[in-house]
Structure 1
């Protein structure tokens, strides 16, 4: 049996939002709508609700969490850049409700990583200061949601497959998938825009839930995806989990994350690195930000830098264009040969990497000698017939690489891909 929960708000902000909804539907005055919304939450009137909820503000000590993001704006003249740091406070320390592994799977936390026990960092650049602040605010709201609900983002195929049927919910949009500590219990946060919350779309959604043996509720909360614009709903296979999460979420407000009604931002130098209080206390030094320093490697040179990403390296030697053509021809033929998907993926990595090496080797005046179709774009390419010929082609590629380059880590990485493809084909 499916369940649709009509949950009453349990915060001042929630009561105010409910009152606006009541006012639109009934045409009563705003003051009367505030009293009605408060009474639906169990209070005598709005004045009673405000006094009772404000008295409850005094609670256990909160824990500071810092979230940072770099930004570089090339639209300004001259270009401007900086590092934004947002401080929030939550009932539990960061590491008690979010692991390093889970972080990048959560809505609004993609691209962030747990830099220290009290610090999340977005390593890659955002393109403006406002965009950096937007990313930090959304990350803060996501942390608040995770801490309050006890939910964890689904991180593997087994967890996602358990809630596969939720994908069939009509007009589902911007859905994020979550699991609880109870084995087998899951929840989907569905955040469509307003047009699906009324008329035929709403009727289809309600009918689907009624026939699915699942449970759902519309939340009186701003949501994660596009706070205040999308309309959050929750869908679950566990009525108890749904009820608990709805209660927890209805008590949330972004005002709890602010100081004196304002987001607590601090702007620092783009060329610096934020060191959180916990890291300072423990005296742990930070490693340089990836993509911002030069690192040497035997027989290899760096050829691509991007802040926030590991620097890419290639062999320091230059391969002849004859050998590039030979490698490209073999890899393009393997591309259209009948080989296992696992081998195909390994070989495509080699093909892409070698083309990048070629462009890095043949720069400026040397570019005139380069064959732009060496690795991609040849017409009438025929695949290799049979496993034996495929294996010989892989071995030939390996031999040319060893003849052309001295031993180095980037070369060894590509040889590993070739060896893995060889094993997959041979099985």
Structure 2
């Protein structure tokens, strides 16, 4: 029980700090902090802690594996990367979430994720390592935001891919299970968003959407920037989500 109390104390301290930083109510900050740790909200964390004796914020080491093969030289191998997560891989990446950055992957068990299992990745160990780091960033993004990969076009205005935002590049569709809302991430190269600010303002006004730039390394990598967009006035608070990502920048940067 002492470890549970310590975990709750840490959550409350972080929530008070976030409430001061963002000027939001404490109960909202508590829910945000709880969501970052894999719970639906703070009440959910309290409920689950009451039914277990283990710490409510466990740490899991998850091994990512990426096979590769170079068809020209005949060389092949496996690259690996270990990431620390607050929940097991089987909970974070359920079968219906194997989309987007995790399309074609296999969650072998709670501590192992095999990337792109259908065939060898035609390239070299350096490229395989970049794919591993991208997957690690995506997992961190999911834990911080509570978002999960989706195949639905409901993240676009009128559920139409042709209504992509003017800055769109490397789009990914996301779903928030707790809020039951959809979010679009898009990762353009530097300069694209600056050049199209007025077009983005018109797009937001036309479709009643809002967007936010994230002060954190992108998931896709290659020097791209990270933006999130969703329907304005929904239960998704992009500013708070952006603040959480800025407070815990995505690690595993491309070397």
* TM-score category of the 2 structures, normalised to the smaller one: 0.5 to 0.7
Name the counterpart of 1:117: 110
How do 1:274-353 residues align onto structure 2 when only pairs under 5 Å count?
none
> 2:173 matched to 1:180?
no
Matched residue SS, 2:78: strand
CA distance, structure 2, for counterparts of residue 150 and residue 131 of structure 1: 28
Shift in Å, 1:248: 2.6
How far did residue 83 of structure 1 move? 1.3
Gaps (5+ residues) in structure 1? 1-40, 43-58, 264-427
Q: Report deviation, 1:152.
A: 1.4
In structure 1, distance between residues paired with 2:200 and 2:163: 12
Aligned to 2:62: 65
SS in 1 for 2:177: coil
2:96 to 101, 105, 125: 101
Aligned to 2:245: 249
- Label 1:194 to 1:160 Cα distance change in 2 as closer, same or farther (>3 A): closer
**SS in structure 1 of the partner of residue 168 of structure 2:** coil
Kindly indicate whether the alpha-carbon contact (under 8 Å) linking 2:179 and 2:236 is maintained by their aligned counterparts in 1: no
Q: Is the 8 A contact 2:60 2:86 kept in 1?
A: yes
Matched, 1:145 2:141: yes
| Alpha-carbon distance in 2 for matches of 1:68, 1:192 | 27
Deviations 1:246-276 (A, max 9, x none): 2332233344x69xxx99xxxxxxxxxxxxx
Q: Closer, same or farther in 2 for the Cα pair 1:248/1:94, shift >3 Å?
A: farther
Counterpart for residue 379 of structure 1: none
Larger Rg: 1
2:86 aligns with 91
Q: Per-residue deviation at 1:171? A: 3.5
* Deviations 1:316-340, CA, capped at 9 Å, x for gaps: xxxxxxxxxxxxxxxxxxxxxxxxx
Q: Relative to total residues, which structure has the larger helix share, 1 or 2?
A: 1
The structural deviation recorded for 1:184 is 4.9
Q: How does 1:405-420 map to 2 (within 5 A)?
A: none
Q: Residues 66 and 78 of structure 2 are in contact (CA less than 8 Å); yes or no, is this contact kept in structure 1?
A: yes
Q: Deviations over 1:345-401 (max 9, x none)?
A: xxxxxxxxxxxxxxxxxxxxxxxxxxxxxxxxxxxxxxxxxxxxxxxxxxxxxxxxx
Shift of 1:190: 1.4
Confirm or deny that 1:233 pairs with 2:227: yes
Q: How many residues align?
A: 197
Counterpart for residue 47 of structure 2:
none
Rounded to whole Å, the distance in 1 between the matches of 2:67 and 2:129 is 10
TM-score by length of 2: 0.67
Q: 1:235 to 1:68 in 2, by over 3 A?
A: same
Root-mean-square deviation (CA), in Å? 3.0
Cα distance 1:202–1:157, how it changes in 2: closer, same or farther (>3 A)?
A: closer
Do the aligned partners of 2:214 and 2:228 also contact (CA within 8 Å) in 1?
A: yes
SS of the residue 1:210 aligns to: helix
What is the rounded CA distance, in whole Å, between the counterparts of 2:87 and 2:130 in structure 1? Answer: 23
SS at match of 2:144: helix
Specify which of 127, 130, 136 is matched with residue 132 of structure 2.
Answer: 136
Tell me the alpha carbon deviations over residues 23-63 of structure 1, each in whole angstroms, 9 at most, x when there is no partner.
Answer: xxxxxxxxxxxxxxxxxx79xxxxxxxxxxxxxxxx95421
- Contact kept, 8 Å, 2:154 with 2:182, in 1: the verdict is no
Q: Give 3-state SS (helix, strand or coil) of 1:138's partner.
A: helix
Higher fraction of strand: 2
Q: Secondary structure at the match of 1:206?
A: helix
Contact preservation (8 Å) 1:163, 1:186: no
Q: TM-score, normalised to structure 1's length?
A: 0.41
Aligned position for 1:203: 198
